[in-house]
Amino acid sequence: MIHTCIRLFRNKEIRNKILFTLAMMFVFRLGAAIPAPRVNTDIMTVGITSNSILAMMNLLGGGAFERLSIFALGVGPYITASIIIQLLAMDVIPALTEMSKNGQQGRKQMDKITRYLGVALAFVQAITMIYAYDNGALGVTGILVESNWANYFYVATVLTAGTMFLLWLADRITQFGVGNGVSMIIFAGIVSGLPSTFTQVWSTLVDTSSSAAMFGGILSFALYVVMYVLIIVLVVFMQLAVRKIPIQYTSSNMHRGKNDITYLPLKINSAGVMPVIFSSAIMTAPLTILSFFPANDFSTFLNNVLNMQKPLGLCIYAVLIVLFTFFYTTLQVDPEKIADNLSKSGTYIPGIRPGAETKAYLSKVLNRITVLGAAFLLFIALLPYLMTMFTNLTQSAALGGTGIIIVVGVATETFSSLKGMLTQKQYRGFVHR
């Protein structure tokens, strides 16, 4: 791996792409430290630390939400708009379905619609958030220096502009840098919060009142670091794990050896991190909305049911993750479409007849490996909440969670992309010679 990194930086074009990406990330982090105008950031910080849901949002945003910076909304509105458009394009709105089938031109039209919807969602989210927080949603009042609707619209416009500027940065990274720009922005936000996380864990575990307590705390912190590394290794393994299904070509007259067998790879975790995000949204959205209003019997009941700090809420969260894992896997991998493509390309699975039998076989294999994928997501997603129940660590400092899956996924995909670019350069050089 070290040798590969050295070769990457020796290549001038790839090195420039990496440096450009780092420069764009620096701009993002610089903007995340600039607070929005007319905002009392001290009061905002106090409210965030007293709300576990908002604390997690702040962690994923790299602290931008806590400071209510110009990038406080991040790229979340665009991601939400993208999910909505993708769902509507699944035979819900015929025009969008037709665009999704029109190749590159159709994708450009859908992306334009997604961005317009993202602007609307960002403005609605911003003005709702500012109004609610300024009127006691965080348990405090006076988030704005001066409370009036003119300031609400002004700050909401600034936050919306910040989101669209982030999308512009993401486009520049995609075009001139390395990897997917939106993913890299999210990656940078999460990674930037890691130093403060480890600092918080150190202050929680290490007691400097006596030598014995300090020694025990250091051992506990070392164990925490080792467990963190082991979880990263587990996530990397599961992200790269595939079930290889052997396939053969009917048109081939050659006898193939074991090294020449072609495989159809099915990822163990085809759904990625989306089931955890959807489940978290369903669990936290009602509680977040109710926190904007005075407490009543219904809000108390719903808080007892959906609160993931309690066993009942955690069980509901686990069930949602499993259901969404199977649901999103069926969206990502279509056994019928794969069976048709295999039949059209003149390939088949040994011992399985083409057509309906191939589809049934693929569905059975996909369901089996999805069970492993769901179990993996359950472990990673539930670990932070279980640790807060049995230790004195906060949720943001606990092991596991959505953030680590996103970071590992983006890192592995980016590194694979860089290796592919390096291999392409080598082939070009060989051809030119």
pLDDT value at residue 334 = 83
Share of the chain above pLDDT 90, in %: 12
Hey, what amino acid is at 311? P
Report d(CA 64, CA 324) in Å as an integer: 29
335/298: higher pLDDT: 335
Is the pLDDT assigned to residue 252 strictly greater than 70? no
Report d(CA 141, CA 44) in Å as an integer: 9
The dihedral through the CA atoms of 200, 396, 78, 268 has a sign that is positive
* Structural element, H or E, at residue 322: helix 311-332
pLDDT value at residue 421 = 79
- Alpha helices by DSSP H, 35-148: 41-49, 52-60, 76-88, 94-100, 103-134
Q: How confident is the model at residue 48 (pLDDT cuts 50, 70, 90)?
A: low
| Spatial CA neighbour of 181 closest among 27, 350, 6, 329 | 27
Report d(CA 412, CA 232) in Å as an integer: 11
Report d(CA 163, CA 122) in Å as an integer: 7
DSSP 245-306: EEEEETT--SPP-GGG-EEEEEETTTTTTHHHHHHHHHHHHHHHHHTTS---HHHHHHHHHH
Q: Token pair for residue 330?
A: 């069926």
Asked if the structure places residue 270 within a domain, the reply is no
Asked if the structure places residue 127 within a domain, the reply is yes
Name the β-bridge partners of 243: 266
For the segment 404-430, the average pLDDT, to the nearest whole number, is 75
Is the pLDDT assigned to residue 137 strictly greater than 70? no
pLDDT value at residue 204 = 80
pLDDT value at residue 182 = 85
Is the pLDDT assigned to residue 256 strictly greater than 70? no
Asked if the structure places residue 150 within a domain, the reply is yes
Report d(CA 395, CA 388) in Å as an integer: 6
Question: Best-predicted range by mean pLDDT among 312-316, 331-335, 406-410?
Answer: 312-316
414/288: higher pLDDT: 414
Q: What is the pLDDT of residues 98-110, one digit of tens each?
A: 887 787 888 888 8
Asked if the structure places residue 148 within a domain, the reply is yes
Report d(CA 376, CA 396) in Å as an integer: 20
Q: What is the pTM of this model?
A: 0.78
pLDDT value at residue 253 = 47
Q: How confident is the model at residue 255 (pLDDT cuts 50, 70, 90)?
A: very low
Share of the chain above pLDDT 70, in %: 84
pLDDT value at residue 370 = 92
Given a contact cutoff of 8 angstroms between Cβ atoms, the answer to whether 78 and 115 are in contact is yes
pLDDT value at residue 23 = 92
- Parent domain of 105: 18-190
| Phi (first) and psi of residue 204, to 5 degrees | -80, -40
Q: What is the pLDDT of residues 51-81, one digit of tens each?
A: 545 555 565 555 666 677 888 888 878 888 8
Asked if the structure places residue 334 within a domain, the reply is no
Report d(CA 102, CA 237) in Å as an integer: 36
Mean pLDDT score of the chain, rounded to an integer?
80
67/382: higher pLDDT: 382
How many folded domains does the chain comprise? 1
pLDDT value at residue 117 = 92
Phi-psi domain of 77 (left: phi exceeds 0; alpha: psi -120 through 50; beta: other): alpha
Q: Are strands 347-348 and 262-267 parallel, antiparallel or unpaired?
A: unpaired
Q: What is the pLDDT of residues 273-282, one digit of tens each?
A: 778 877 877 8
| Phi (first) and psi of residue 116, to 5 degrees | -60, -45
For the segment 398-423, the average pLDDT, to the nearest whole number, is 78
pLDDT value at residue 292 = 65
Asked if the structure places residue 271 within a domain, the reply is no
54/242: higher pLDDT: 242
Least confident of 87-101, 304-318, 321-335: 87-101
Asked if the structure places residue 59 within a domain, the reply is yes
Q: 94: domain CATH number?
A: 1.10.3370.10
For the segment 20-36, the average pLDDT, to the nearest whole number, is 89
pLDDT value at residue 44 = 59
> Other C-beta atoms within 10 Å of 89: how many?
20
pLDDT value at residue 291 = 66
Asked if the structure places residue 132 within a domain, the reply is yes
134/425: higher pLDDT: 134
pLDDT value at residue 86 = 79
Least confident of 135-144, 168-177, 192-201: 135-144
Q: How confident is the model at residue 356 (pLDDT cuts 50, 70, 90)?
A: confident
Report d(CA 6, CA 181) in Å as an integer: 23
